[in-house]
Structure 1
Amino acid sequence: MKSGIAGEILQKFSNYRVRLAIAGEFSQYKGKGMEDFILESNKTGHISFVNSISEALIKFSPMDKN
């Protein structure tokens, strides 16, 4: 997080309008920076941090408008 590499990589996905879901359990990361990073990423609609692959599939299904 501190080096900014993760943000740069995710920015590339956003710039090229490629939707990306990152599935996992993120509640174990308690840092304010990580929490803010996840919340901000989820706002864009291009990058989504989700709890499971099934949630990612639902999020990016053609029926979903987000």
Structure 2
Amino acid sequence: MTTDTLLTLHGTRVLRCAPEGPPLDGERAALDLIGDAMGHDAQLVALPVRRVADDFFRLRSGVAGAAVQKFATYRLRLAVIGDISRHVAESAALRDFVYESNQGAQLWFLTDLTELDERLAG
């Protein structure tokens, strides 16, 4: 079983979450991830898309909003890493949310760790 690892990319401490593990499916899961990140003194959590519950991508469910708010409250950033094209294709609102999120610094949707490295370098 792989475990979470701590990386430092361009001065940012990143908790790279293992592909296996509990899904980000609400506030409790967000708080668990935040606790793990704080335990590693991380500033950003890189979470594989397979660890993100489908409800997160259904904006009406409120899962994304609740999770992102928790991360913001604890001054942690979240990067969802992987292919979300299936979800984006199903929802114009999600496509707009992803676009807007990627313009900021709190939440990013990125295809891979290389893209995360490039974002943090810039």
Q: TM-score, normalised by structure 1?
A: 0.73
Q: Which runs of 5+ in 1 are unaligned?
A: none
Q: What does 1:1-66 align with in structure 2 at a 5 Å threshold?
A: 1-29=59-87, 30=89, 31-60=91-120, 63-64=121-122
Q: Distance in 1 between matches of 2:113 and 2:103?
A: 19
Q: Distance in 1 between matches of 2:71 and 2:118?
A: 19
What is the identity percentage for the equivalent residue pairs of Structure 1 and Structure 2?
Answer: 34
The alpha carbon displacement at 1:58 in A equals 2.4
The alpha carbon displacement at 1:14 in A equals 2.3
Q: SS at 1:8's partner residue?
A: helix
Q: Report the count of equivalent residues.
A: 62
Q: Distance in 2 between matches of 1:32 and 1:44?
A: 19
Q: Distance in 2 between matches of 1:37 and 1:10?
A: 12
Change (3 A) 1:24 1:54: same
Q: SS at 2:61's partner residue?
A: coil
Q: Which AA in structure 2 matches 1:27?
A: S
Change (3 A) 1:22 1:28: same
Q: TM-score, normalised by structure 2?
A: 0.44
The alpha carbon displacement at 1:56 in A equals 1.2
Larger relative contact order (CA 8 Å, sep ≥ 6) = 1
CA RMSD across the alignment: 1.6
Q: Deviations over 1:1-57 (max 9, x none)?
A: 212111110122123321221111122221112101211211221211011112112
Give the structure with the higher percent strand.
2
